[in-house]
Amino acid sequence: MRIAIEAVGVLAPGLPDWDGAQAVLAGRQPFAAAPLAPCVPISLPAAERRRSSPTVRLAIAAAEQALHRTALSPQDMALVFSSPEAAGVITHQLCEVLAGSREVSPTQFHNSVHNAPSGYYSIAMNAKLCATSVCRGPWSFAAGLLDAAVQALCDDVPVLYVCYDSPLPAPLSDVMPVVEATAIALVIAPKPAAATLASWEFAVAPAEGDVAWPGWMPAAWQANASARGFEALATLAGGAGASAAMPLSPELNVQVARC
Amino acid sequence: MCGWVHKGGIQSTTAMFMQPLAVLSYTITSAAGLGKANTARTLREERSGLTPNDLTWAPLDCWIGHVGAAEAVALPEALGAFDCRNNRLALLALEQDGFRDAVAAARGRLGAGRIAVFLGTSTSGILSTELAYQSRDPATGSLPAAFRYDTVHNLDATTEFVRRVLGLTGPAMTISTACSSSAKVFCLAERFIRLGLADAAVVGGVDSLCHTTLYGFSALQLVAPDICRPFDTARRGLTIGEAAGFALLERGAGALQLMGYGETSDAHHMSTPPPDGDGARRAMLDALERARLSAREIDYINLHGTATPANDRAEGRAVHGIFGTGTPCSSTKGVTGHTLGAAGITEAAIALLSLEQGFQPGSPTTREVDPETRCAFTPHGQARKLARVMSNSFGFGGNNCALVFGKDA
């Protein structure tokens, strides 16, 4: 099965955008850690920006990067958002309140749903097509990518795919050690067009041993499901390999090969 | 919209025809009963499974849909790390109606790697995390050493647990779009099977009672102080319930079939639908188009019908806009409660039961239908031959899904 990649967005400490990330992913430039500036998605009205969580802002800011690089309209795209833990800091705050006063903030409660990022995004962009929020624990990148590719092909529709990890506060960080934010956004189309970056032949295949992490990547990011996408992005940056594998389960990988 | 203009080009039309998928087996466990026979009896007798809230750990003045039998379920020793209320409820449901046997037979026929597992949930085993936060170390703030996040609280924990119980190795993932989660898994399965990534799929959903949803919906003032009364003039909100249910779908025709589906976004508000129910309307129209059916070919609609004033009015108007007053509809939330991430599978199972048994469910807690909702809301159930039914599920984030099921003529 083949899909076209129209545009990419990247947000991580030291990788502030796709232009900056390509040289690192292609091995032309060493990775240099740098703090990630707070995400300020311009599509969210100020009131919504204030009400939303850091995870929402991260996901939408990554999506906006990709949207700037495509002529396709956000209103014409289906949405697949994927994260191992989208509520994150909100879960922590809710659990603290529930262990004490139990006076839950209504805004915090509706922000706690896993699809809050895609919900806020759809409101900001007036995106009214199908929106799906995926979770597959540490395998969330491959699962969401697979879902996005399948939807693009089945419904003949461009799909915005965003995968993201937001840092968790203590004590949740003891059991889910995400310490830095990473996010990847892809605009996927069912067929290539003039502005297409590249096409991916993708397949679900049996896993043969563990998939290695990129050598340049900070070890701490191995807790981030979205960081599994960097090997796939390297195929677009003209990097070391023209193909990449991402774990979907202990038994399966999603493979992409640039073509 | 804020700064992003439509860039022109072709307006996408996502709806298209689909080949029906066979529903080989299904099961549902909720406050309305364990398994299909008990659920059907509750529906026929026009009883409610809801009870006044007696949870000592969440003393709120409301009603609940409680599956007490889940609490005594023991997980297999090898899967002990997955132990939590949500996974106990999942296992209880898997044991009903010969569902595990049906999956084992399909696994033998098709191979474990050709069967996908797609489940929906909104809160997974978050109750375990809530309890862990009540037992933090006073000095360090750390959680109890025995607490597990990945196999208990992560939204994928139940999917991975069910996949292992059933011995399946096909593609698996969790959909979490609040209260449409376990309806959307049917759509995912259709797409994966259509592209040949699987030959069959176990779909479903599991959500269990927890502090987050009980206190969260209360904070939003969406929980009724008495039992929920869908589409009633005096409706005052929802009753939260817990449920687990599963369906086994396979390529090809069958006595019971998934015929169509529609998925849309409101792009309006995080927790309130637009007053005209536009997103719901587009989801229902897409589902009809995929199923190649006209509105008058739908015999019954199982509404989302949460019994909040705004939701019921918007859904009723959207239904009326498409079906007029010609199609009987009801909400079974007064029987099962609003089972949130499991609402999609709960009501898909009720839709399938209604087809199989020739019985149109009512809404036993509704006393006086609100004329403002306009559609043909039918509080009393009746024996009636049904061939095509629709089930609606809508969630926070303005996330809508409509499913159409049919019976082989």
Average pLDDT, consecutive stretches of 10 residues, N- to C-terminus, chain B (409 residues): 47 67 98 98 98 98 98 97 98 98 98 98 97 97 96 97 98 98 98 98 98 97 97 98 98 96 96 96 98 97 98 98 98 98 98 98 98 97 97 97 92
Give the ipTM of the model, two decimals please: 0.97
Of B3, B173, B395, the CB nearest to A136: B173
Query: In this complex, is the C-beta atom of B272 within 8 Å of any C-beta atom belonging to chain A?
Result: no
- Of the CA atoms within 13 Å of residue A156, those in its CB half-sphere come to 8
Cα separation of B135 and A128, whole Å?
43
Class of A2-258 in CATH: alpha beta
Q: Which of B62, B66, B84, B179 is catalytic?
A: B179
Enumerate the residues of chain A whose CB falls inside 8 A of the CB of residue B2.
42-45, 124
Cα separation of B53 and B65, whole Å?
8
Are residues A62 and A10 in contact, defined by beta-carbon separation less than 8 angstroms?
yes
Residue A165 scores a pLDDT above 70: yes
Q: Which of B66, B338, B375, B401 is catalytic?
A: B338
Are residues B129 and B110 in contact, defined by beta-carbon separation less than 8 angstroms?
no
B269 is catalytic: no
Q: Which CATH superfamily is domain B21-407 in?
A: Thiolase/Chalcone synthase (3.40.47.10)
Selected residues 35-94 of chain B with any CB under 8 Å from a CB in chain A:
none
Q: How near does any CA of chain B get to the CA of A240, in Å?
A: 28
C-alpha pair distances (Å), B124 with each of B142, B259, B383, B394: 22, 29, 36, 18
Q: How near does any CA of chain A get to the CA of B278, in Å?
A: 10
Cα separation of B74 and A236, whole Å?
48
Q: Which of B153, B211, B304, B320 is catalytic?
A: B304
Q: Which pLDDT does position A87 carry in this prediction?
A: 86
In which residue are the tokens 């639908």 written?
A: B273
| Minimum Cα–Cα distance from A119: chain B residue | B397
Of B129, B169, B267, the CB nearest to A126: B267
Cα separation of B407 and B382, whole Å?
18
Query: In this complex, is the C-beta atom of B129 within 8 Å of any C-beta atom belonging to chain A?
Result: yes
- Of the CA atoms within 13 Å of residue B399, those in its CB half-sphere come to 34
Query: In this complex, is the C-beta atom of B197 within 8 Å of any C-beta atom belonging to chain A?
Result: yes
Q: How near does any CA of chain B get to the CA of A17, in Å?
A: 20
C-alpha pair distances (Å), B340 with each of B220, B238, B327, B391: 15, 11, 25, 14
Task: Please give the full DSSP string across B304-344, using - where no structure is assigned.
Answer: -----HHHHHHHHHHHHHHHTTSS-EE--HHHH-B-GGGHH
Cα separation of A47 and B317, whole Å?
30
Cβ contact, residue pair A132, B175, below 8 Å: yes
Cα separation of B273 and B392, whole Å?
14
Average predicted confidence (pLDDT) for chain A: 95
Which residue out of B212, B261, B272, B394 would a mutagenesis test of the A interface target, given it has the greatest number of A Cβ atoms within 10 Å? B212
Q: Which pLDDT does position B100 carry in this prediction?
A: 98
Phi, psi (degrees; rounded to nearest 5) at A232: -70, -40
More confident residue, B320 or A241: B320
Q: How near does any CA of chain B get to the CA of A52, in Å?
A: 11
Selected residues 80-119 of chain A with any CB under 8 Å from a CB in chain B:
84-86, 91, 94-96, 98-99, 102-106, 109-116, 118-119
What pLDDT, in 10s, does the model give residues B336-381? Answer: 999 999 999 999 999 999 999 999 999 999 999 999 999 999 999 9
Q: Which pLDDT does position B16 carry in this prediction?
A: 76
Task: Please give the full DSSP string across A172-216, using - where no structure is assigned.
Answer: HHHHS---S-EEEEEEEESS--TT--EEEEEEEEE--SPPPPPTT
Enumerate the residues of chain B whose CB falls inside 8 A of the CB of residue A109.
212, 215-217, 219-220
Enumerate the residues of chain A whose CB falls inside 8 A of the CB of residue B132.
95
Q: Which pLDDT does position A4 carry in this prediction?
A: 97
B338 is catalytic: yes
Cα separation of A173 and B358, whole Å?
52
Cβ contact, residue pair B3, A43, below 8 Å: yes
C-alpha pair distances (Å), B259 with each of A233, B303, B357, B366: 37, 17, 18, 30
Cα separation of A124 and B7, whole Å?
16
Cβ contact, residue pair B263, A132, below 8 Å: yes
Query: In this complex, is the C-beta atom of A130 within 8 Å of any C-beta atom belonging to chain B?
Result: yes
Look at residues B76, B87, B197 and name the one whose alpha carbon lies nearest to residue B151.
B87
Cβ contact, residue pair A150, B141, below 8 Å: no
Of A85, A102, A128, the CB nearest to B264: A128
Q: Which amino acid is at B222?
A: L
Residue positions counted in chain A: 259
Residues 6+ apart with CB under 8 A from A19: none
Q: How near does any CA of chain B get to the CA of A217, in Å?
A: 23
DSSP 8-state symbol, A68 = H
Cα separation of A9 and A185, whole Å?
5
Of B143, B187, B396, the CB nearest to A175: B143
pTM of the model: 0.97
Look at residues B318, B332, B392 and name the one whose alpha carbon lies nearest to residue B361.
B332
Selected residues 86-115 of chain B with any CB under 8 Å from a CB in chain A:
113
| Minimum Cα–Cα distance from B270: chain A residue | A119
How close are the terminal C-alpha atoms of chain B, in Å?
Answer: 47
Look at residues B314, B62, B10 and name the one whose alpha carbon lies nearest to residue A191.
B10
Instruction: Give the CA angle between residues B233, B236, B241 to the nearest 5°.
Output: 120
Are residues B304 and B315 in contact, defined by beta-carbon separation less than 8 angstroms?
yes
What pLDDT, in 10s, does the model give residues A44-53? Answer: 988 888 889 9
Cβ contact, residue pair A135, B173, below 8 Å: yes
